[in-house]
Amino acid sequence: STDILTGTLAQSGILSALYARERTGVGQKVDVSLMESQLAGLVNIASSSLNSTDSPPPKRWGTAHESIVPYQAFQCKQNGPEIQYIMVGAGNDVQFHNLSSVLGIPDLSQDQRYLTNEMRVKHRKSLLPLLEKVFLTKTRDEWSKLLEGKGFPLGPLRNVQEAFQCEQAQHRQMVQEIEHPTVGKIRLPRTPISFSSLGGTTVFGEEIASNDNPESMKKGAIPPPMLGEHTAEILEEILKIDPHSIQGLEKDGVIQCWYNR
């Protein structure tokens, strides 16, 4: 995930540099590293650690949250070969009251040990087993239906196939079928960015997904480039190197080109 985060930050830096160049006429060298991106990605964990030097180092909490309880994945009643979980977060006292009511244990939110989030964090070890026991009584999908719309965040933990087949992914048309030049049809995730009114606009051969043109989410994508696929095109169109010289560079092993013949 760090390399993906670094690439995303690099993209943001490049766009910022291009915008600055438009305003000032001065170009920039954009420098992004994996280490710096990972450190910045720690966000609240980093700020807490940096400003609480007398406190012990942050612990590993898995899916749980250090300062909000409950806020984690709970195992549900098994329905098939895979163990299933649901992620539930009660970020404030009202949400915890709502959660307790839906779970059928409303008295829990009136327990002096769990009245506030501060108290729930303090008594994490006694509270979580009570919740875990209840969540094991129903399947993940049953809990999803019961908890939906009750005023606190939740979500079923899905495997990759389930994630792409879920209703929201289908509605957003996140899967694209693309013709690859060597292996035929392949299915890939759609670029997860859409705009309000750019239907029909293309960038590097891919039509930008637009909310005012749902069909734009389905079409226009191009497959990942082959190694050297655009080398000759870039050298000729941008660097103005003539085709004969490009062929010479390729013959001498300086560059590698791929042609869709």
pLDDT tens for the 261 residues of the chain, in order:
899 999 999 999 999 999 999 999 999 999 999 999 999 999 988 988 889 878 788 889 999 999 999 999 999 999 889 999 999 999 999 999 999 999 999 999 999 999 999 999 999 999 999 999 999 999 999 999 999 999 999 999 999 999 999 999 999 889 989 999 999 999 999 888 887 776 556 555 556 666 656 565 555 678 889 999 999 999 999 999 999 999 999 999 999 999 875
Q: How far is CA 250 from CA 122, 229, 231, 254, in A?
A: 67, 13, 10, 6
Give CA 241 to chain center in angstroms. Answer: 41
Handedness of CA 133, 138, 141, 144 (dihedral sign): negative
Q: Is the pTM of this model over 0.85?
A: no
Catalytic residue IDs? 3
